């Protein structure tokens, strides 16, 4: 049962919660894309005045966050605030393949200096953009920093942000301390209005923890708050020998007690971090990234380079040789419900959500399942990827499925051959025409051996080969292939068959682009 927000958004999985509400992964049913939906909980309010303040804070968050049009902050798509405040939510970009920085800090692995510096540099460039608006985050911490699988860093939850313009009223309920004490600047600890340099202090705390494997100060909240105000931090270089002097100094500058003694702005912090990344004392080698960790240095190593395609979150299942779906009534009911919902979404043209719905009934594992039911479920998922234009994901999945069906029932099985055909189709759609031609030739030879030249699949592949040859400029061979398949289709299917008409159209297109005779 899907929960709908308004007439457009459906909630799928809760991915986070806090005092102010919860965050859900959902779908925009109009654009067929994943979104993050932040539901604001107003039931905690103790009076109508607090309800009004929470509603105003929500409006402020929506408008402020929407103004930060930077790749380091998830984009705001929509805001819903009913007149009766029954539904209050913010609809944002869903960062699908990401984990929080806190997750990586909790892995008990010493992070390389270059890794930590690259993460901090990406945070700094995002803060520089936000501070210029001017917007201050006020609660920067590892839980509010996401790392995508490709190493991109995003800052989330500007829910405590406040416009710094002088005419903006301060929105803080009585007795509420805004921020997280482990990363809270000394001035925030005593209730002074935070500034961009308060965010820089929090960045210093985060960078310290990445480098040293522990927070700047440890203890109860009052103890930590006292240390932030009065205790000098232990220099990072005294805890770790490979920290360069310039980086040690930058961390200590960021952790200065007085805001005026910290770096002047986030841009200057970025410049100092970038200099460290370009220094031979801060290696940028990918092999230094721990297994399973994203590489935040890649964006600096190859600026503006294309991101790796096909990176997806682990929650999208990939079947494996041990992934056998047990036959039981409960699972049968789940699969039947998933397939029914899948078909409904496909009929509505919502292919991305259809694939997601069916993927949730398939267990996670590695490729090459030996269970036919699992393979057939994944074939439907791959078909949804293809129909929705996600050709790279579809092609990768069809390749895995072809191998799985070949292992299960043999390489000449119809489903194995169909999956290879769809994989080739994806290659062609991605513009990999030479590869598509070569793979079509090999697949056609296999089909001819097993099925003959006049089977449905052989005729489709012959027509596809002729079209591909036309696209790569091999018009003479294309004419031979298309004329031969057209003659066979006339004999086997007649003039009214759909594939016969398609072959005739392909010949007409070839004739239209052929150069006139000399």
Q: What is the mean pLDDT of residues 394-419?
A: 92
Sequence-distant (≥ 6) Cβ neighbours of residue 91 within 8 angstroms:
9, 26, 28, 35, 36, 37, 38, 76, 77, 78, 79, 80
Check if the beta carbon of residue 150 is closer than 8 Å to that of residue 308. Answer: yes
- Each domain of the chain, given as residue ranges in start order, spans 3-93, 98-168+177-301
CA dist 235 and 168 (Å) reads 38
139 is an active site residue = yes
Strand partners, 33: 28
163, 113, 154, 110: which is closest to 136 by C-alpha?
A: 163
Pairing state between β 9-18 and 98-100: unpaired
Convert 441-496 into a string of H (helix), E (strand) and C (coil): HHHHHHHHHHHCCCCHHHHHHHHHHHHHHHHCCCHHHHHHHHHHHHHHHHHHCCCC
CATH no. for 3-93:
3.30.200.20
Percent with pLDDT over 70 in the chain: 84
197: its two tokens: 């340099």
Cβ distance 27 to 46 under 8 Å?
A: no
Q: How far apart are CA 75 and CA 160, in angstroms?
A: 17
Token digits for 2? 């899907």
Distance between CA atoms of residues 73 and 156, nearest Å: 6
- Could you report the per-residue pLDDT of 130-143, keeping only the tens digit for each? 998 888 999 999 99
- Over residues 234-244, the pLDDT tens digits come to 999 999 999 99
Q: What is the full DSSP assignment across 365-415? A: --S----HHHHHHHHHHHHHHHHTT-HHHHHHHHHHHHHHHHHHH-TT-HH
Chain centroid to Cα 429, Å, comes to: 22
Options 1.10.510.10, 3.90.550.10, 3.30.360.10, 3.40.50.300; CATH of 98-168+177-301? 1.10.510.10
Give pLDDT, residue 518.
53
Confidence of residue 424 (pLDDT cuts 50, 70, 90): very high
Strand order in the sheet with 9-18: 3-5, 9-18, 21-28, 33-40, 88-93, 76-81
pTM score, whole prediction: 0.73
Question: Is the predicted pLDDT of residue 151 greater than 50, yes or no?
Answer: yes
The pLDDT of residue 160 is 53
Residue 443 confidence (pLDDT) above 80? yes
pLDDT, one tens digit per residue, over 268-326 is 999 999 999 988 766 555 556 777 789 898 888 877 777 655 444 433 333 333 344 45
**pLDDT band at residue 179 under the 50/70/90 scheme:** low
Identify which has the larger pLDDT, 67 or 463: 463
- Determine the pLDDT at residue 282: 63
Q: Please give the share of the chain, as a percent, with pLDDT higher than 90.
A: 57
User: Which member of 28, 82, 108, 139 is catalytic?
Assistant: 139
């Amino acid at each position: 049962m899907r929960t709908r927000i308004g007439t457009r958004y459906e909630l799928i999985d809760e991915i986070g919660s806090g005092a102010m509400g919860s965050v859900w992964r959902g779908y925009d049913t109009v654009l067929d894309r994943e979104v993050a939906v932040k539901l604001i909980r107003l039931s905690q309010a103790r009076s109508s005045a607090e309800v009004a303040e929470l509603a105003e804070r929500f409006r402020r968050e929506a408008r402020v966050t929407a103004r930060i049009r930077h790749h380091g902050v998830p984009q705001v798509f929509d805001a819903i605030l009913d007149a009766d405040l029954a539904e209050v939510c913010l609809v944002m970009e869903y960062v699908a393949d990401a984990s929080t920085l806190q997750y990586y800090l909790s892995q008990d692995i010493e992070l390389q200096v270059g890794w930590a510096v690259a993460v901090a540099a990406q945070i700094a460039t995002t803060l520089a953009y936000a501070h210029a608006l001017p917007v201050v985050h006020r609660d920067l911490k590892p839980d509010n920093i996401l790392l995508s699988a490709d190493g991109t860093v995003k800052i989330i939850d500007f829910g405590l942000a406040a416009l710094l313009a002088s005419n903006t009223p301060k929105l803080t309920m009585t007795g509420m301390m805004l921020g997280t004490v482990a990363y809270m600047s000394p001035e925030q600890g005593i209730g002074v209005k935070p500034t961009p340099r308060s965010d820089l202090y929090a960045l210093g705390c985060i960078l310290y923890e990445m480098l040293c494997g522990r927070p700047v100060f440890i203890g109860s909240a009052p103890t930590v708050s006292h240390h932030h105000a009065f205790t000098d931090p232990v220099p990072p270089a005294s805890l770790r020998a490979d920290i360069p002097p310039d980086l040690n100094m930058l961390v200590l500058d960021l952790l200065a007690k007085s805001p005026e003694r910290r770096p002047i702005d986030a841009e200057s912090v970025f410049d100092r971090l970038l200099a460290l990344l370009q220094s031979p004392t801060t290696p940028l080698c990918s092999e230094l990234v721990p297994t399973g960790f994203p590489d935040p240095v890649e964006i600096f190593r190859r600026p503006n380079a294309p991101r790796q395609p096909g990176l997806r979150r682990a929650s999208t299942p990939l079947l494996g040789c041990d992934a056998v779906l047990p036959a039981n009534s409960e699972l049968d009911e789940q699969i039947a419900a998933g397939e029914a919902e899948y078909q409904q979404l496909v009929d509505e043209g919502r292919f991305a959500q259809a694939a997601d719905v069916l993927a949730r009934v398939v267990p996670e594992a590695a490729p090459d399942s030996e269970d036919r039911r699992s393979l057939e479920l994944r074939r439907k998922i791959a078909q949804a990827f293809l129909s929705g234009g996600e050709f790279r994901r579809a092609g990768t999945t069809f390749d895995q499925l072809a191998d799985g069906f070949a292992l299960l029932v043999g390489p000449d099985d119809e489903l194995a051959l169909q999956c290879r055909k769809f994989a080739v189709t994806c290659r062609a759609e991605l513009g990999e025409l030479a590869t598509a031609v070569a793979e079509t030739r090999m697949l056609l030879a296999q089909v001819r051996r097993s099925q003959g030249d006049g089977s449905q699949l052989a005729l489709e592949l012959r027509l596809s080969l002729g079209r591909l040859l036309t696209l790569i400029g091999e018009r003479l061979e294309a004419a031979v292939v298309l004329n031969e398949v057209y003659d066979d289709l006339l004999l086997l299917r007649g003039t009214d068959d759909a594939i016969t008409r398609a072959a005739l159209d392909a010949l007409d297109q070839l004739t239209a682009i052929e150069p006139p005779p000399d």
